[in-house]
Amino acid sequence: MPSVLVIGGGLAGAAAATHLARAGCEVLLLERERGPHDKVCGEFLSFEAQDELRDLGVDLQALGAVPINRVALAYKQAETATPLDFTGLSLSRRVLDEAVLARAIAAGAQVRRGVRATTLERSGGGWSVTTDTGETIKAQAVFLATGKHDLRGWRRPSGPQPDLLGFKIYWRLAGPCSLGSTVELHLFPSGYAGLQMVEGGRANLCLVVHKAAFAALGGKWEALVTHLRETCPSLAARLSGAAPCLPRPLAIAAIPYGLVQRHSEGVWRLGDQAAVIPSFTGEGMSLALHSARHAVEWFEAGRSAEDYQRKLARDLAGQVRRSTLASRALVAPIPQGLIGRLLTPMLMRRTLRTTRIRPSVRAGLADLSS
């Protein structure tokens, strides 16, 4: 019986497995996908995420990550741009998640691919997990890192901004591409889209749109792209002559933006299972990696999952709440207009700073007394 079972091999699960194995735990990780795969994600790596990944031994430059040092927001004909406070990086999740899983294996974690956990129940003093391969696995502790997917019986609440759908697709932009090291945020009626280069000369277009607006377009991706071209001149210019690199976009429904889990019910909730920050912040991966490190530190110190969850919620609640307020404004017609007209580079920098994980929170990991 492994002492710890990690369910989910995305960034949070793979990082936790690495930290646990390095601390000498016997750890088994289950990942339902058999191999490298794409994910709905803007793929912007903040400074904080880069720091966590460096600590895990992931060399982002060697993997081909693209530097991002400027952010631009476009609304109708208006554009506001500012340099970032740091150099961000952009790397596909297909490459990144594999690299972090490889670190977990190198640290001594056992990783099983193509195995999906189907149920999770208490059993004696520990836990019992069944899988789609028909096995039952017992463990003393469980780290839940299934990201956007909820296990049966472990559904997360919907969060304060639950009405957006997410899409992601790569494009090969036409002609000389001036996107360079800028991440662009394009506002359109009922949503916003992020565009940035990733490795291999492709541009990642990742967007969120109101469910009702998508339904009004007949629920068709092609109709949404036409809508974007018609209502968002900045994005239309970028996509002019561009070719999609995937036959279909990846999609995700029911994103519980703004959710912060305050109770653990005995499992160590990580990443999107613990807190979901709106995507325009580019902080989701940073929070996933932070939660993994934080959880392992508290686990090793003999603290309870409930204590960890409460502390994490206290640390992240303000950042997630502010980001969700801004996310609401980004998709509502009147605030969109105000943002488009009144946003200055300085205001943009300030807003972005308030969506980042606070340095005191990152530095306070060792403070196990609170």
- Out of 112, 149, 310, 328, the residue judged to bind ligand FAD by CB under 6 A: 149
In our burial notation (b when 16+ CB lie closer than 10 A, e otherwise), range 44-59 reads bbbebbbebbeebebe
Would you state the structure tokens that stand for residue 212, as one six-digit string? 């009702």
| Closest CB 283 distance from ligand FAD, rounded Å | 6
Residue whose CB is less far from ligand FAD, 37 or 341? 37
At residue 364, what is the residue type?
G
Q: CA 260 from chain center: how many Å? A: 14
Residue whose CB is less far from ligand FAD, 117 or 295? 117
Instruction: Please report whether residue 43 would count as binding ligand FAD according to CB under 6 A.
Output: yes
Residue of 190, 360, 166, 168 lying closest to 278 (CA atoms): 166
Residue whose CB is less far from ligand FAD, 112 or 349? 112
| Closest CB 77 distance from ligand FAD, rounded Å | 25
Residue whose CB is less far from ligand FAD, 134 or 176? 134
Window of 27-35, 64-72, 344-352, 359-367 that interacts with ligand FAD by CB under 6 A: 27-35
Instruction: Please report whether residue 271 would count as binding ligand FAD according to CB under 6 A.
Output: yes
Q: CA 88 from chain center: how many Å? A: 15
Instruction: Please report whether residue 184 would count as binding ligand FAD according to CB under 6 A.
Output: no
Instruction: Please report whether residue 2 would count as binding ligand FAD according to CB under 6 A.
Output: no
Instruction: Please report whether residue 11 would count as binding ligand FAD according to CB under 6 A.
Output: yes
Q: CA 152 from chain center: how many Å? A: 21
CA distance 57 to 66: 18
- Out of 283, 320, 348, 356, the residue judged to bind ligand FAD by CB under 6 A: 283
CA distance 288 to 16: 10
- SS3 state at 129: strand
CA distance 284 to 261: 15
Q: Interface residues with ligand FAD (CB under 6 A)? A: 7-13, 30-33, 39-44, 49, 116-117, 145-149, 151, 166, 206, 208, 252, 255, 271-272, 279, 282-286, 288
